[in-house]
Amino acid sequence: MPTIAIIGAGPNLGAAVARRFGREGFSVALISRDQEKLDGIAMELRSQGIAARGYAADVLQPAQLTGALAAAAAELGPVEVLQYSPLPFRTFLKPVLDLTPELAEQAFSFSALGLIHAARTVLPSMRAEGRGTILLINGGTSVQSRADFAGTSVAFPAESAYGEMLHEALASEGIGVHQLVIPGAIPKLRYTIDEVAERIWQIHASRGAFRTMLVPLDEGRE
């Protein structure tokens, strides 16, 4: 049974993606900092017939993150799909004149370095099997900076650049690396949570371009 690992799993989009992939026969590894919350989501998924477990880890702690992914692979099966979608801290949304080197370093570690650690953990098994998908879920500052969202404006582009390079480097090995940009809060856009989860499934299944915009950037900023 294939496994999807959702880093940044929560009760909204993460749970919806878990349900969507679960319907296709995937086991689900839910990864975030709050074990109690993860256990609740996993219990609900299991009540729907989906194999799911929660693994507490902080993306700012590489050993925790890689350990959670290793545990998930050992208990549920090798990770065939990795979704990297941790929700940025509110401090990352400060104005640029308030951005300190320490905050910029934290934002970079959260977005770019966390992804690198996660990808390097799951890629050996993906490459051995000749298949797999890495999905990046980012906000609009991954493609256009905002002076009032300085932390993500610094960090998301680095995460995107790494993902795009992986997309190019791994395409010939049957491994897809793709990004969905959601430029705004989902409730304010024209899609439901389940419709966004369906889009993520289609991105995985279709293996198209690296970047997909959920809506045009200007629409998300309205």
Number of domains in the chain: 1
222, pLDDT greater than 50? no
What tens digit of pLDDT does each residue of 23-77 get?
Answer: 999 999 999 999 999 999 999 999 999 999 999 999 999 999 999 999 999 999 9
The per-residue b/e assignment along 7-41, b for 16 or more CB within 10 angstroms, e otherwise, is: bbbbeebbbbbbbbbbeeebbbbbbbeeeebbeeb
What tens digit of pLDDT does each residue of 145-179 get?
Answer: 999 999 999 999 999 999 999 999 999 999 999 99
Q: How far apart are CA 41 and CA 131, in angstroms?
A: 28
Contact by Cβ (8 Å): 86, 114: yes
What tens digit of pLDDT does each residue of 111-139 get?
Answer: 999 999 999 999 999 999 999 999 999 99
For residue 56, the cross-strand partners are 32
Which SS3 state, helix, strand or coil, does residue 46 take?
Answer: helix
Domain range for 176 is 3-220
Structure-token pair, residue 1:
């049974």
Q: Which residues contact 67 (CB under 8 A, 6 or more apart)?
A: 57
CATH number at residue 49: 3.40.50.720
Strand 3-7 and strand 27-32: the pairing is parallel
**DSSP-derived secondary structure letter, 7:** E
Q: What is the pLDDT of residue 5?
A: 98
221, pLDDT greater than 70? no
